[in-house]
Amino acid sequence: MYKFIFVKGIDVVKRLLDETIVNAAWLKCYHLFKGNFMVNNIRWKIAQQYEKDWWEKRSYFIDFEFYKNFAEDLLEFGKELLVINQGTVVLEIGSGAGGILTYLTDSNYRYAIDPLESFYSSVPRFVSQRDKHVKYLSAKGEDLPFEDKKFDLIIMDNVLDHCDNPEKVMKEVKRVVKDKGIIFFKQNTYHTWGQLVRFLMERFQIDKGHPFTFAKKDLLRIIHHNDLKLMKAKRSGYFFTWKKELMSSGFNNKMKAILFATRDKITYVLQKD
Q: Is the pLDDT of residue 16 over 60?
A: no
CA angle 247, 250, 254 (to 5 degrees): 55
pLDDT in tens, 225-267: 999 999 999 998 777 777 777 887 777 677 777 777 787 899 9
Residue-averaged pLDDT of the chain: 85
pTM listed for this prediction: 0.82
In this prediction, residue 197 carries a pLDDT of 81
Question: What are the beta bridge partners of residue 271?
Answer: 182, 229
**pLDDT range class, residue 38, cuts 50, 70, 90:** low
Contact 93, 155 (CB under 8 A): yes
Whole-number Cα distances in Å, 230 to 73, 173, 196, 217: 18, 15, 27, 13
In this prediction, residue 208 carries a pLDDT of 78
In this prediction, residue 11 carries a pLDDT of 53
Pick the more confident residue, 13 or 44. 44
CATH of 2-272, one of 3.40.50.150, 3.30.9.10, 3.10.50.40, 3.30.420.40: 3.40.50.150
Whole-number Cα distances in Å, 204 to 75, 120, 199, 200: 39, 28, 9, 7
Q: Where are the chain's structural domains?
A: 2-272
